[in-house]
Amino acid sequence: MTWLVEIVLSSLDFLFVLTGSYGWAIILLTLGIRVALLPLTAAQIRSRSKMQEITPKLNELRAKFKGDRERLNRETLELWKKHKVNPLGGCLPLLVQLPFVLAVFWALQRVDYRVTPYFLGINLAEPELWVLPILAGAGTFAQSLLMSGGDPSQRAMLYIAPLMIAWVTRSFPAGLALYWVGTSCIGVLEHYGFTWLWRARTNAKVQSR
């Protein structure tokens, strides 16, 4: 993890020299990380889209075999196999991305924002108590809502995660909140973009048959 933190810090220093602002450096770093992780993001969104497509059929199976757990499990596995769905496909990319998130978190705590502390009127060296935390929480909520696909089992986390992110970003220098706002906004755009591409590709395959 230490080497990854050092890479993030070196990248921030380079982008700071390039832009003269830690604010822009954080935004460009966020964009660079999201671009580097695009293949994982695409795989995660594709897996989630497949799961959402077969959700009505899963619900039918649950209703049909409500009292037969063994038959339900067998039929569910057959459904996943038929549609080439891996229920863990949406989780693995998240686990792979976690070290990058932690590296950015620790790196941003070591940045000396005093060189150019202000960005868009916000002091990045001090906790920002309202605007950025609210935006970070809202961005997390939007991402969680899109990724859950309205799954009732994820309803609790849908509200807990944004509140946790808002609280955390109020407790650290505003540079962290700026990063989280940026990565959340890009994440929402990626979701809409990849979902549109996935559906367009699926429709093209159906029409070609």
Nearest to 185 by CA among 19, 16, 34, 29: 34
CA–CA separation, 105 and 114 (whole Å): 18
Contacts of 199-205 with CB under 8 Å at 24 or more apart are 199/49
pLDDT at 90: 59
Sequential pLDDT tens for the chain (209 residues): 788 999 999 999 999 999 999 999 999 999 999 998 888 888 877 877 778 778 888 888 888 888 888 888 888 888 888 877 776 665 666 677 788 888 999 999 889 888 889 999 999 999 998 999 999 999 999 988 887 765 666 677 788 989 999 999 999 999 999 999 999 999 999 988 888 887 777 777 666 66
Q: How many domains does the chain have?
A: 1
The b-or-e profile of 130-147 (16+ CB within 10 A means b, else e) is: eebbbbbbbbbbbbbebb
pLDDT of residue 163: 93
pLDDT score recorded for residue 119: 93
* Distance, CA of 75 to CA of 62 (rounded, Å): 10
pLDDT the model gives residue 3: 87
Reported pTM: 0.83
- Between strands 118-119 and 122-123, the pairing is antiparallel
Range of the domain at 188: 2-208
Q: CB count, 10 Å around CB of 198?
A: 17
Q: Supply the pLDDT for residue 61.
A: 86
Q: Is 93 exposed, middle or buried (0-12, 13-18, 19+ CB in 10 A)?
A: buried
Q: Where are the alpha helices (DSSP H) in the chain?
A: 2-19, 22-36, 38-64, 69-82, 92-109, 131-148, 155-170, 174-208
